[in-house]
């Protein structure tokens, strides 16, 4: 806390108490410390703030004017401290941009974060592929593939697999090679002008299909409905594989995983504790890692 703000707070409290000794007892400070703070204020503003008597202090005209300014100043400081409390403690709102599959994954694990940091609030903003950017007031955001953002951290890689509904394969046959995919309805997602190629068996396949969406969840649901073949993170389709609503296609194919990084919007400044705690959560609870036990 700056000396000026501290002195202004003591000045306001002294104006209410009207007595150095009473304020010293209440604040657990020495009479000398309080007197020095008032002397510093009077020297700073070049005015006399109190009329001193043996029984009680009263504000001078200049003291009353300063009290009006000090009340406004300290109110603004208090609001700033409340708003930025998360800079020094893990409390307040942290806004995180996430991809669909990973956002749903993390949402299932937020209870552990809440247990450890009950004063923290999390807002998840969903978008897939490379559309998530730092111009929306985000504290943290995930990126697919490398990013030039300073301070970005590699979270890990997401294995991907090809899936289709049994009804689609029954009606259209099952591909036996990567080349066969060119003859099928391939459902894609992304934001670029052209659909991202599918990196299979060391090749970049430019597939086509009836549906292209900006979220992997839409592709997953369309795949379940028998519309075509989807290339999706394995973690997103485990339940469908287990219950039989989807079947893995070309299970032996080599498919490049998705590299996921997390970036932050605090370039050139200290990362607030609320964001640091959230980033640690994203790193520790990335799919495939064993999270630490919940805090009892």
Residue 295 domain flag: no
Query: Which of 41, 64, 83 delimits the end of a domain?
Result: 83
Range of the domain at 189: 160-249
294, pLDDT greater than 60: no
226 with 153, same domain: the answer is no
- pLDDT single digits (tens) 139-190: 899 988 877 777 788 999 999 999 999 999 999 999 999 999 999 999 998 7
Residue 289 domain flag: no
Residue 270 structure tokens: 């200290």
Q: Summarize the confidence of residues 129-133 as an average pLDDT.
A: 52
Residue 290 domain flag: no
129 with 272, same domain: the answer is yes
14 with 39, same domain: the answer is yes
Q: Summarize the confidence of residues 198-224 as an average pLDDT.
A: 93
CB under 8 Å, gap of 24 or more: what pairs does 152-155 form? 152/261, 152/262, 152/263, 152/264, 153/261, 153/262, 153/263, 153/279, 153/283, 154/259, 154/260, 154/261, 155/260, 155/261, 155/262, 155/282, 155/283, 155/286
56, pLDDT greater than 60: yes
Query: Which of 36, 63, 83 delimits the end of a domain?
Result: 83
Query: Which of 54, 83, 112 delimits the end of a domain?
Result: 83
219 with 233, same domain: the answer is yes
- pLDDT single digits (tens) 68-93: 999 888 878 766 765 665 556 678 89
Q: What is the CATH number of the domain that holds 200?
A: 3.40.190.290
152 with 16, same domain: the answer is no
Predicted pLDDT of residue 214: 85
Out of 5-9, 242-246, 287-291, which region has the weakest mean confidence (pLDDT)? 287-291
103 with 228, same domain: the answer is no
Verdict on whether the full-model pTM lies above 0.85: no
166 with 150, same domain: the answer is no
Out of 97-101, 132-136, 235-239, 275-279, which region has the weakest mean confidence (pLDDT)? 132-136
Domain count, the chain: 3
Predicted pLDDT of residue 222: 97
Predicted pLDDT of residue 226: 97
Q: What is the CATH number of the domain that holds 117?
A: 3.40.190.10
**Nearest alpha-carbon partner for 261 in 173, 181, 147:** 147
Cβ-contact 103, 110 below 8 angstroms: no
């Amino acid at each position: 806390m700056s000396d000026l703000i501290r002195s202004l707070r003591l000045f306001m409290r002294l104006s209410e108490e009207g007595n150095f000794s009473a304020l010293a007892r209440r604040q657990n400070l020495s009479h000398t410390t309080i007197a020095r703070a008032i002397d510093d204020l009077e020297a700073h503003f070049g005015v006399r703030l109190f009329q001193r008597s043996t029984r009680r202090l009263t504000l001078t005209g200049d003291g009353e004017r300063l009290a009006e300014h000090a009340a406004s100043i300290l109110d603004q400081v208090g609001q700033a401290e409340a708003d930025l409390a998360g800079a020094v403690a893990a409390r307040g709102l942290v806004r995180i941009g996430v991809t669909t599959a990973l956002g749903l994954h993390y949402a299932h694990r937020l209870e552990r974060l809440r247990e450890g940091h009950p004063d923290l609030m999390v807002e998840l903003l969903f978008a897939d592929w490379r559309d998530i950017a730092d111009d929306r007031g985000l504290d943290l955001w995930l990126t697919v593939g490398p990013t030039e953002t300073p301070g970005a951290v590699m979270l890990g890689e997401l294995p991907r697999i090809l899936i289709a509904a049994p009804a689609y394969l029954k009606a259209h046959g099952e591909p036996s090679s990567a080349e066969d995919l060119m003859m099928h309805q391939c459902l894609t997602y992304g934001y670029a002008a052209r659909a991202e190629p599918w990196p299979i068996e060391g090749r970049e396949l430019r597939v086509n299909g009836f549906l292209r969406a900006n979220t992997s969840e839409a592709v997953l649901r369309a795949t379940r409905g028998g519309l075509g073949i989807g290339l999706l993170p394995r973690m997103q389709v485990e339940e469908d594989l287990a219950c039989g609503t989807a079947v893995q296609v070309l299970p032996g194919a080599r498919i490049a995983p998705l590299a996921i990084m997390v970036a932050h919007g605090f370039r050139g400044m200290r990362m607030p504790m609320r964001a640091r705690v959230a980033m640690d959560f994203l790193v520790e609870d990335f799919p495939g890692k064993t999270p630490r036990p919940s805090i009892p």
